[in-house]
Structure 1
Amino acid sequence: MSASILDGKYPAKAHCAAVAAHLLKQNSAITSGLLYLESGKSRLHEDSPFRQRRPFFYLTGCQLPDSYLTYDLSSKKLTLFIPPLDPAEVLWSGLPLSPEEAKQQFDVDEVRTTDTLTAAISPDTTVYTIAHQLSQKFPGTVNTELLHIAIDECRAIKDEYEVALIRRANEITAEAHHAVMRAIKTAKNERELMAVYLAECIKRGAPTQAYTGIFGSGRAAATLHYIKNDAPLTGLNLLLDAGAELREYASDVTRTFPINGNFTKESREIYDTVLQMQKECLDMCKPGNNWEDVHVHAHKVAIDRLLHLGILKGDKDEILAKRTSCAFLPHGLGHYLGMDTHDTGGHPNYKDEDKMFMYLRKRGPLPVGAVITVEPGIYFCEFIIRPYLNDPEHAKFINEEVLEKYWDVGGVRIEDNVLITSSGHENLTSAIKEVSEMERLINGE
C-alpha cells in the first residue's frame, strides 16, 4: 500500500487547500489574495547541505533551491516558479529541470521560470507570506502574521502520502537498527556502529538522516542528546537513537540493548520497567486522550516499578506530587513527527513552572491523523539525580544504597512512532524491542 501511494505525486494542492481553509478560519474577512513562499537558497559556499524550507516543500513537494510559489485563494491555482536555464551553471551541475518536466513531477497547476515572477503578481493583490523567508518587495498589502500559523497547524495532521513516507522511513530505520544489533558484539567503538547504521540506510535509499543519531554506550546512555559517538564500547548497554529521513519526512526510533548480548539483572529490571511504561502509554494513544495524562501515566508506572525495585521509597502519590520521579525521567514522553523530528503544531509550554511538563513538546488532546513519538525512559545520570539527593524534600524518597547498583545501567529509552487513528493508533515502527528477540539477533541465534 505505501509503495503504491508513494508512486503518485506529493499532495501539494491538497495541502494548499487545507492551509487556505485555515487562513479563512483565522480571519473570515479574507476573500481573496495570494499565498507566497520562497524556497531555500543555493548555498555554494556553506558547509551544510541544502535542505528545503519546510513550508515551501509542504505546499509544493519541490526540493529545488531558488524557487517560488504562489497560490491564488480565489482561483485555487498553484504556480511554481523555478530557475531558468543558465548556460554557465549547466557546466557545473548539468541540465536543470525544465518547466515541462517540473509540471509532470509536481502536483501544481502551472510551472513558470523565476524571471516572470514579478509580472505575475498584481500590485492590487494581498500577499500572505512568512516574514523571515521574504526577499521580494511587493507594492500591495503584505500579511506576515497568518500563513506560518496556518501551515504549522495543518502540518500536525498527516494525510496518507505523508504517513506512507514516515512508515517507509521507519522500515528502513528498523533494518538499520537490526544491523547494529548484529554488529555490536564485534564492534570496538561507537563510531563503527554509526557507520554500520548509516551504510544500511544508504543502501536502502535513505542517505539523509532526520537528526544526528545517538550511539551511546555505558553511562553515556544517560546523556539525553549524546552526540560524541566515538568512544570505545564500554559498560553494559548501547542506547541507539537514530532515524532515517525519506523525501523530507522523518522517523525517530530508539532502542536499548546489551553490548555483550545479554542483559544483566539490573539492566533487565530497568528495561522491563521502560517497556511496561511504553506499552501502557501506547494503549492510551487514542483520539481525544490528553497527552498530559499519558505522560503522567508514564511517571506513575515508573514510580510503581522503582518502588518495587527499592530505588524509590515512600508513598507513590506523594512521590508523584513532589515530582521526584523527574530525577529519573526528566524529558517529555514524546512529540509530533513529520518533516521535522520535533514537528509543528504541538503547542508546548516551555515556561511551565511544573517540571513534569516543562519539556513536554505536545500539549492537549490527540487528534486523528497526528503522528507522535512514544519514548519513555529511565536514566541514571549523576548530574540530574545528585541535586535530588542533596534536597531533603526529594532525598527521603530515594534509597541511595540501592541506587548505587544501577549507575552502570546508564539510561534506557524505547521509542516508537505512532499514528493516531479513528479507532486508536497504528504503530509505524517495526524495530524489534522484546528482550528475547533482541538477544537472539545480537547473539546470532
Structure 2
Amino acid sequence: MDIQHPDLHQLYPPHLSTLKARADKALLRGGFDHLVVAAGQAAYQFLDDRPYPFAVNPHFKHWLPVTKAPGSWLVYTPGRKPKLVYLQPHDYWHVVPEAPAGYWVEHFDIVIIRDAKEARAHLPNDAARCAILGEANAALDGFTPNNPAAALDYLHYQRSYKTAYELAMMRVASKLGARAHRAAEAAFRAGESEFDIHLAYLAATRQTDNELPYGNIIALNEHGAVLHYTELGHAPPAHAHSFLIDAGASFHGYASDITRTYASAEASEFSALIDAVDAAQRGFCTKVRAGQSYPELHIHAHHVLAGILKDHGFIRMSAESAVENRVTSAFFPHGLGHPIGLQVHDVAGFQASDSGGTIPRPAGHPYLRMTRVLEPGMVVTIEPGLYFIDMLLAELKAKPAAKDIDWTKVDAFRKYGGIRIEDDVVCTDGEPENLTRDAFAAAG
C-alpha cells in the first residue's frame, strides 16, 4: 500500500510563521532576544563507548523535520530568517547526516560545521540574552541551556494546538501505523510468537525499533495484563487466546499511537467483550469536541465500562456503585488517554494556562495524563481498557465490594490478559477527526 504524502511545500510556510509568532511572544515574556534550540547530543552508557539511541529535542524537530543530526542547533531572532547550524562531522566510524534538503531548506540560513565545538561561533554572543532550550549535555563553552520557565510555559501550552502541517504529518504516521497493525494481526492469526509479530510490524512500517515513537507492546494471552509489556517472547504459546498490540509509527518527527485487541477464533466470550469495549471507545471518540473536559470524559468512561462489566456478568452492582467504590479502577487502572504530537505523551496536558500552573487530576485517578478542556487543534488519544491484573484483583478481593463480583467469571478471563482500544483523535470546530479509524479505513 502506498502512503500518500501531503503537499509539504504548501503546508510548511504557514507552520513556520506560526512558530515564529509563538517564539516572538515567548521571548517577550521571558525578556530574551534570541531563541536557541539544541538538537541534542548522544548519551553514552556507563563505562562504555556505546551510545543510547539518539532522541532529538522535540523543540528542534518542531521547527524542521530533522531527527538524526546530534550536535546541531537552531537560532531564531525575531525579524530575521532562522539559522540552522548543522553538524556534518568528518567521521568514518559512523554514518554522517545527509546534507539538508527538501521542502524546508529555503526557509533557513544553513551553516555546515564539521566539529560540534564549531557551533559556538555561529550562536549569539551574549548567552544571557538567549532562551536556550535543550539538555545539559548540549552545553558549549559559556553557552548552557537555561530552559527558562516563562518561555517554555508559553511554548508548551501552544504546542497543544496543531498546525495544518502537523496534522498532515500525523495523518501519515497514522497510516503507517495502521498498515503495520494489519500485518501484526495477520501474524497473530498465523500463530506467530510475540517476537515474530514484532518483526512483521517493523517490516510493514519500514522503521527500526529506534525509529518508532515508542517501544512496541506485543502481548499474547495473559501478557496483555501488563500495561507496558515489552518482553517479546520468542516462542509462540501452546494456545494463543488473545493478542493486544500497542504500537505506533513516526513521520517527520510526529507520532501515532494505536492499540487494538484481538481474540482467537474459539474465544467467543472474550471477542464479545472486545466488541463491547470497541463500541464504547467509538462513543468516547465522538465526544472529543471543543469545550469537553477531558477529566469528565475519563470519569464518563468509567461509568460506561462499569456497565459493560455488569452486562457481561463480571459484577452484580450498579455502574454508579462500581465507580464510587473504585471497582472499575481495578479493571481500568490507567487514564483515558493523553495529548500526542511531537511526543507520544506530549507536553502541557495538565497546564492551567500559557503562563504555567497545574490543573489537578480528579481524586482517585492518579494516572490520568490530561486534565485540560479540549479545544480545536488539540490531538488526544482515547484508550479505554478492561484488564484482569492479578495484583489489582487480589486487592479488590479483600474489599467489601468483592461480594458483588463473579470471581469464577473473572478467573476464567485471566488467561486473556486484557483489552485496550486506542485511537488518535483531533478536536476541531465541529465533528472530531479520528486519525486512526480513517487510517484503518484507507488500509482496507
Residue 367 of structure 1 pairs with residue 372 of structure 2: no
Residue 409 of structure 1 pairs with residue 399 of structure 2: no
Q: Pick from 244, 259, 278 the counterpart of residue 249 of structure 2.
A: 244
**1:123 Cα shift?**
3.2
Q: Which residue of 2 aligns with 1:110?
A: 109
Q: Is the 8 A contact 2:33 2:77 kept in 1?
A: yes
| 1:230-260 Cα shifts (integer Å, max 9, x gaps) | 152334110011111122211111111123x
Question: Alignment length, in residue pairs?
Answer: 421
Q: Which residue of 1 aligns with 2:33?
A: 33
| 1:132-170 Cα shifts (integer Å, max 9, x gaps) | 445135599977232332332222211111111111111
**1:207 Cα shift?**
7.9
Give the distance between the partners of 1:23 and 1:289, measured in 2 at CA.
31
Q: Which residue of 1 aligns with 2:227?
A: 224
**1:17 Cα shift?**
2.2
Q: 1:109 to 1:395 in 2, by over 3 A?
A: same
| 1:205-237 Cα shifts (integer Å, max 9, x gaps) | 998211111111111111111111115233411
**Equivalent residue runs for 1:76-95 within 5 Å:** 76-83=80-87, 88-89=90-91, 91-92=92-93
Q: Pick from 272, 290, 298 the counterpart of residue 269 of structure 1.
A: 272
**1:131 Cα shift?**
6.6
**Greater displacement, 420-429 / 269-278:** 269-278
Q: Which residue of 2 aligns with 1:257?
A: 262
Residue 128 of structure 1 pairs with residue 145 of structure 2: no
**Equivalent residue runs for 1:383-398 within 5 Å:** 383-392=391-400, 394-398=401-405
Give the distance between the partners of 1:22 and 1:371, measured in 2 at CA.
22
Q: Which residue of 2 aligns with 1:52?
A: 56
Residue 3 of structure 1 pairs with residue 5 of structure 2: yes
Q: Is the 8 A contact 2:6 2:168 kept in 1?
A: no
Letter in 2 for 1:380: F
Give the distance between the partners of 2:269 and 2:21, measured in 1 at CA.
53
Q: Is the 8 A contact 2:23 2:35 kept in 1?
A: no
Residue 200 of structure 1 pairs with residue 204 of structure 2: yes
Give the distance between the partners of 1:331 and 1:403, measured in 2 at CA.
19
Q: Which residue of 2 aligns with 1:305?
A: 308
**Greater displacement, 148-157 / 245-254:** 148-157
Q: Which residue of 2 aligns with 1:65?
A: 70
Q: 1:94 to 1:191 in 2, by over 3 A?
A: closer
Q: 1:388 to 1:431 in 2, by over 3 A?
A: farther
Q: Pick from 281, 285, 295 the counterpart of residue 282 of structure 1.
A: 285
With normalisation by structure 2, the TM-score equals: 0.84
Q: Pick from 151, 167, 174 the counterpart of residue 171 of structure 2.
A: 167
Q: Is the 8 A contact 1:170 1:430 kept in 2?
A: no
Q: 1:67 to 1:165 in 2, by over 3 A?
A: same
| 1:394-433 Cα shifts (integer Å, max 9, x gaps) | 3234222332332223201111111111103101114898
Q: 1:128 to 1:107 in 2, by over 3 A?
A: farther
What is the aligned-residue identity percentage? 26
Give the unaligned 5+ runs of structure 1.
none
Q: Which residue of 2 aligns with 1:210?
A: 213
Letter in 2 for 1:253: I
With normalisation by structure 1, the TM-score equals: 0.84
Give the distance between the partners of 2:16 and 2:371, measured in 1 at CA.
28
Q: Is the 8 A contact 1:172 1:206 kept in 2?
A: no
Q: Is the 8 A contact 1:209 1:244 kept in 2?
A: yes
Q: 1:15 to 1:206 in 2, by over 3 A?
A: farther
Q: Which residue of 1 aligns with 2:150?
A: 146
Give the distance between the partners of 1:187 and 1:161, measured in 2 at CA.
40
**Equivalent residue runs for 1:182-193 within 5 Å:** 182-193=186-197
* 3-state SS of 2:171 partner: helix
**1:102 Cα shift?**
5.8
Q: 1:116 to 1:171 in 2, by over 3 A?
A: closer
**1:187 Cα shift?**
3.0
Q: Pick from 318, 322, 325 the counterpart of residue 321 of structure 2.
A: 318
Give the distance between the partners of 1:141 and 1:223, measured in 2 at CA.
37
* 3-state SS of 1:396 partner: helix
| 1:174-201 Cα shifts (integer Å, max 9, x gaps) | 1111112223232341111111111111
